[in-house]
Structure 1
Amino acid sequence: MKRRSLMMGAATAAILAAGITAAQAQDTIRLGAAAPKTGPLAGGADVTHWPAVRLWVHLTNEAGGLQLADGPALIELIEYDDQTNPQQAIQAAQRMATQDRVDFMVAPYSTGLNLAAAPIFSQLGYPQITGTNVTNQQPELSAQFPGMFFVLGRTGVMAEDTAQVLVDLRESGEIGSRVALVNVADAFGIEMAGISRAVLEENGFEIVYQTSYPLGTQDIAPIIDGARAAEPDAFIAWSYPGDTFALTDQAIVQNFTPSVFFTAVATAFPSYYGRFGEQAEGVMGMGGVNPDDPAFQAFAEAHTELSGQGPDFWASASTYATLEILGQAIEATGSKDRAVVMEYLQDNSNTYETVLGPVQFNEMNDNERYWTVGQWQDGVFRGVAARGRDGVSDVILKDGWD
């Protein structure tokens, strides 16, 4: 399949050369999207989710829409705020399907909200191509919800690769075996912490401190107090955006300086480096990208031009890729009939060309090629571990907060 250009001018020129303009589109595809605009995850969605969704709609429409069998169709985007509330995510999906009668829906933002909405997506027959859902339950979920697809990766692999980074550093004599492990107490954090502890212990690491905290916790100081007192070589936090920033703030205030400092979601945000500057150097987190890849550079340029802010260095591109996949499936079938498009998506012989590179789902609707661990190096969050992706960078050791 041919990759849809991310460069606005090039896409428009190509369509005009073919004699098709946005004005000639005779049909409309209604696309529904519900994600946080308020609540604890609103900040993360404002970076990772909404700009990527709006960018794909904008570029698709500027290029003349999606090509159906009977002509081009423009995308009409309908947005709702799920308030970072699982019940609101479910109600929004029901509303979009039954009242707005959308043709397709964008998957929610975050693991927990995707899991909450999965039954209603399945019941109503909507593909759910997830770009911010990380879980080890993919085999069970895809069996229960055959229209649920996974682009971002599995928790087990994320935990394994994080542990392997520590193993490599230990084997090179750069760190010891003492680890502090903390997590946000929601579906993502609980699952990640359980798997991570098991993998670390299997590799001979000692968990010298472990705790969890509720989503939206304001006082992070006691967590850093406890971790600092345990004198770990590595600090690993399976955190969400608000606590990722708060944990880093407190570590700096308390001069908590383990050789490895790892926070999860939002570590890859440009605003993380904007907030902490050179103090972010050496901080590790989930995800990463190859920032030297021309496809990512084009995506970042278009993202910044439209939204006024750069994408994050992980799940922004994954979210965008979910819509590239949906668009390519619609165009390949020439149809906006959900059953027809679903059947195409479930054919795991199909490959999609995306900003991430080629994506192909296996029999469990899982993409097996993704980034797992990243690190801030010279002001860029570079991928330092990945499955099936090129451009992996070497790990550097963090040297305090100075």
Structure 2
Amino acid sequence: MKRRTFTTLAAIAVAAAVALPAAAQETLKVGAVAPKTGPLAGGATVTYWPNVQLWVHDVNARGGLDVGGTKYMLEVVEYDDQTNPGQTIQAVQRLVNQDGAQIVLPPYSTGLNLAAAPIYNRFGLPMVTSTATTDKAGELSQQFPNVFFTLGGAQGIVGGVVEAFTALRDRGDIGNKLAMVNVADAFGIELMGQAKPAFEAAGFELVYESSYPLGSQDLSPVMKAAKAAAPDAFIAWSYPPDTFALTEQAIVEDLQVGAFFTAVATAFPGYVGRFGAQAEGVLGIGGVYADGAAFQEYAARHEQVTGAKPDFWASAMVYSSFQVLEQSIEAVGSFDNAAIIQHIKDNAFETVIGTLDFDENNNNTSFWTVGQWQGGVFKGVASTGREGAVEVLPKAGWN
């Protein structure tokens, strides 16, 4: 069989290594570039940076990265790209040309990953993205064979949202009138483009639509206009700052809808921390099998090492993408990037979110699409095949 689960091979290698003399140990520079300032800094602070810290901690705690018998302790070189694609590209160039980073982790967000893909390809770096959502994975993998996508595409995510909203409508919990808005960047534009025809095909009527620039400070006009359209349900293809701002404005305006959906950051622990009981019933992108042992073990270790809770969507995927890279480097036994990329293409990997397997550089594994705050936990309610989904519930106002 071409594909195999690498953790089995890794276990054999570890067992064999017990009888060998202690390996030499050196230091290996790992590059990481993501926002620490700018509009997406809040999201990266929750989802990206803590998992860089956790992964490096875990690898070093095991004695380092084993590359051809040499143990490498990881040392991270970090850059803030200021949520600016140009800065992302410059940082990757500096990491390779000046800092001597042997590993360069992928950046944060759909837009920054897509902008940086050409420079990773130019350097031949394996790029296992963990926070990019796009239906162009097939096209991009043809252009950039070193780039892998793990988080799913817009079509799958939209399908999950349509499924959840249709279930609510068919039970009589909501009507057909829908307000939908999006952040005007690659993420929001692509999801909005998929969602409009999908909801119309499902029999929903779009009574209000709007887009707003990334980094918008005042979203009250958007929510006022949405309320004026008297929708039965509300959807925002939003990034972290606007997810919080739109929710806040919905509460201020007392937007009474039976389904309220915001995208990135709805799954953040800080969301329920900020809105408390008012978060109950809010739907959002992502989700996890929150009651599963694998996620609970990862979440406990995440909090112990970083002092912060992971989010209920992409946090575990970020860590899993690092595991894929780690396992491939150790299997290849060198820093031959071409061989590492081929190994990722040819194998399946056991990670904290389960098996990751790539088909033409796209995650061939089922993934969560919609979660909902229920009883203070963001639980998965729709997926492309994951187990553990709970029943979607209507939003019972803003308590």
Pairwise CA RMSD of aligned residues?
Answer: 2.0
Q: Counterpart of 2:126 in structure 1: which amino acid?
A: P
Structure 2 residue 396 is matched with structure 1 residue 384: no
**Partner-residue secondary structure (3-state), 1:299:** helix
Shift of 1:352: 0.4
Match of residue 291 from structure 1: 290
1:399 aligns to what SS in structure 2? coil
Other structure's SS at 1:323 match? helix
CA distance in 2, matches of 1:336, 1:390: 36
For the residue of structure 2 that corresponds to 1:78, the secondary structure is strand
Decide whether aligned partners of structure 1 residues 275 and 130 sit closer, same or farther in structure 2, where only a CA change above 3 A counts: same
| Per-residue deviation, 1:363 | 2.0
The correspondence of residues 24-173 of structure 1 with structure 2, limited to 5 A, is 25-173=24-172
Q: Deviations over 1:309-331 (max 9, x none)?
A: 10000000010010011011112
The reply to whether residue 2 of structure 1 matches residue 7 of structure 2 is yes
Normalised TM-score (structure 1): 0.94
Matches within 5 A, 1:181-260: 181-260=180-259
Q: Post-superposition shift, 1:78?
A: 1.0
**CA–CA distance in structure 2, aligned partners of residues 26 and 315 of structure 1:** 32
**Which residue does 2:370 correspond to in 1?**
373
Number of residue pairs matched by the alignment:
391
Question: What TM-score, normalized to structure 2?
Answer: 0.94
Question: Which secondary structure does the structure 1 equivalent of 2:290 belong to?
Answer: coil
Query: Residue 394 of structure 2: SS of its match in structure 1?
Result: coil
What is the alpha-carbon distance in structure 2 between the residues aligned to residue 79 and residue 295 of structure 1?
29
The amino acid across from 1:388 in the alignment is: G
- 2:58 and 2:20 map into 1 onto residues whose CA distance is 15
Task: Write the letter of the residue equivalent to 1:27.
Answer: E
Q: 2:284 aligns to what SS in structure 1?
A: strand
Secondary structure of the residue aligned to 1:274 is: helix
Contact 1:104 1:338 in 2 (8 A): no
Alpha-carbon separation, structure 1, partners of 2:199 and 2:365? 22
Q: What secondary structure does 1:361 align onto?
A: strand
Post-superposition offset of 1:20: 9.2
Aligned to 2:3: none
Contact 1:185 1:213 in 2 (8 A): yes
Specify the code of the residue in structure 2 equivalent to 1:305: Q
Q: Which residue of 2 aligns with 1:329?
A: 328
Deviation at 1:18, TM superposition (A): 4.2
1:359 matched to which residue of 2?
356
Aligned AA (1:369): S
**Native 8 Å contact 2:46 2:310 kept in 1:** yes
Change (3 A) 1:292 1:18: farther
Q: Which consecutive residues of structure 2, in runs of 5 or more, have no partner in the other structure? A: 1-5
Closer, same or farther in 2 for the Cα pair 1:215/1:34, shift >3 Å?
A: same
Letter in 2 for 1:354: T
Aligned-partner Cα distance in 2 for 1:99–1:63:
29
Distance in 2 (CA, whole Å) between partners of 1:300 and 1:324 is 16
Q: Which whole-Å CA distance do the structure 2 matches of 1:19 and 1:220 have between them?
A: 63
Deviation at 1:89, TM superposition (A): 0.3
Is the 2:259–2:282 Cα contact (8 Å) retained in structure 1? yes
- Contact 2:64-2:73 within 8 A present in 1 as well: yes
List 4+ stretches of structure 1 deviating above 6 A: none
Instruction: Give how far 1:4 is off.
Output: 12
SS at match of 2:381: strand
Equivalents in 2 of 1:330, 1:150: separation in Å? 18
C-alpha distance in 2 between matches for 1:388 and 1:340: 31
In the aligned structure 1, how far is the partner of 2:97 from the partner of 2:187?
A: 30
Q: Distance in 1 between matches of 2:397 and 2:332?
A: 54
Output the amino acid matched with 2:153: R
CA shift digits 1:242-270 (9 cap, x unpaired): 00000000111111121000000000000
Distance 1:107 1:214, change over 3 A: same
Provide the identity percentage.
53
AA of the residue aligned to 2:349? Y
Deviates more, 1:201-210 or 1:164-173: 164-173
Pair 298,19 (structure 1): closer, same or farther in 2 beyond 3 Å: farther
Partner of 1:9: none
Counterpart CA distance in 2 for 1:51 and 1:20 is 34
CA positional deviation for 1:123: 0.6
| Counterpart AA for 2:309 | G
Cα distance, 1:20–1:235 mapped onto 2, change above 3 Å: farther
> 2:294 is matched by which residue type in structure 1?
A
The reply on whether 1:266 has 2:271 as its aligned counterpart is no
Give the letter aligned to residue 241 of structure 1: P
Report if the CA contact (8 A) 1:25-1:64 is conserved.
no
* Mapped partners of 1:267, 1:310: distance in 2: 14
Distance 1:262 1:320, change over 3 A: same
